[in-house]
Chain A
Amino acid sequence: MANLCAAPASPPMVRASELGVERDPSRLVARAARGDVAAFEELYRLNVGRVYALCLRMSGNPTLAEELVQESFVRAWQKLGSFRGSSAFSTWLHRVTVNVVLGHQRSTDRREARISVHFEDSVPDQTARVAHPGQTIDLERAISGLPDGARTVFILHDVEGFRHREISGLIGVAVGTSKAQLHRARKLLRKALSP
């Protein structure tokens, strides 16, 4: 229990980038694939912001987003051998992350079907903790308030740039359903953001 009671240990961290190590993603990927954890840490530093933003928007929960980020990078580490370099590492990592988040959502849906938690509506909006100025907070909050299906499709399509066909494959719905969810999301957002 000592780890729960002590002050958080945060020694000054020297990042590899400050030591002048390479930051070429393709070389870092090659080194990481050979088991070089330091190279993988550099890849983490280069990509964690985008991965966290995706996890935070899709989950709407900062604590869960941190867990999903960790899971995504661990999964990426385990699957590095299957990365062929046909796309950028960041693109591949993004897809790994999306799969991790969607997998979590599916397992959560199944679990919550068995054990119902009733005070969902009382939970304060934690996405607003993200430090964005002005209108961005309103939009982030509005996105986090979307129904799950609509939020997922909106983020994947309008924020992350996936196409309906890709989304269809990722979340296992028809292309038409993806389009309908996007339409619903945009309509709800326009309504939520209208003066």
Chain B
Amino acid sequence: MNIAIIMFFACALLSVAGAMLLILAREPIHSALALILVMMAVAVLYLLLGAPFIAAVQIIVYAGAIMVLFVFVIMLLNAGVEERTDFSRIAKFGGVPLGFLLLLEIAHSLYHSPVGKAIANGAGSSNDAADTAKLSEMLFRQYLFPFEATSILILIAILGALVLARKES
């Protein structure tokens, strides 16, 4: 068996397990740690797809900056163990089958989409995303407008948070 396939299944399992743990853990810090695990596993998946730049940025930005802030806030608020209520009936009997249906549908459409076929045929090893210079050229030429629009969106979000958090005087 190919080592890349073994790595893929190991990381896929790890990320799914991490996501389950994220929801099921009752201690907020455990949830945060599980989310970090998911992000690391996804970063390795990016590496396997031949996108090392995105993998590194995924770790630096998500695991290294955003999740540190999450952990920081959880520690600062000293959030305790969550209280659990019973699952709602609709979620149990309607939600779980629907979730599986959605999963199947996504898998089906990915399997038949050009992206999925390209990945299955081993694209990615010679991906443009592997080259940082090409990637940044795409980001700052071809996709300049979405890029700048996103940064303005983030700025607006920060301002909104500031306004919401400001004390009424």
Q: Is B one of A's binding partners? A: no
Chain B residues within 8 Å of A, Cβ to Cβ: none
Chain A residues within 8 Å of B, Cβ to Cβ: none
